[in-house]
Amino acid sequence: MATLPNAPNLAGQQALYLSEQLKAYRNGKRQNEVMGVIAKPLSDIEIAQLSAWYSAIKVTAEAP
């Protein structure tokens, strides 16, 4: 889970969703200054690998 207030939670998201969003940042269809810089140099294989890794993270929640 993200620890910064404006950072998205990527862990546990569907791989297809993550892949499509990274491709959208890479080609400029989705705009974000930081994510655009991060996604721009990624290959399709790297995007697939990152998406698979983040989607494999198990997210749990506990009551405070």
- Does residue 64 lie in a domain region? no
Looking at residue 17, its pLDDT comes to 96
- Write out the residue range of the structural domain in which residue 33 sits: 15-56
The reply to whether 33 falls in a domain is yes
Supply the pLDDT for residue 40: 96
Answer yes or no: are the C-beta atoms of 47 and 10 closer than 8 Å: no
Is 7 part of a structural domain of the chain? Answer: no
What span, in angstroms and rounded, lies between the C-alpha atoms of 17 and 59?
Answer: 17
pTM of the complete model: 0.81
**Number of structural domains the chain divides into:** 1
Residue 16 pLDDT class (50, 70, 90 cuts): very high
The answer to whether position 8 is within a domain reads no
Indicate whether 1 pLDDT > 70: no
Would residue 2 count as lying in a domain? no
Q: In this structure, is residue 46 part of a structural domain?
A: yes
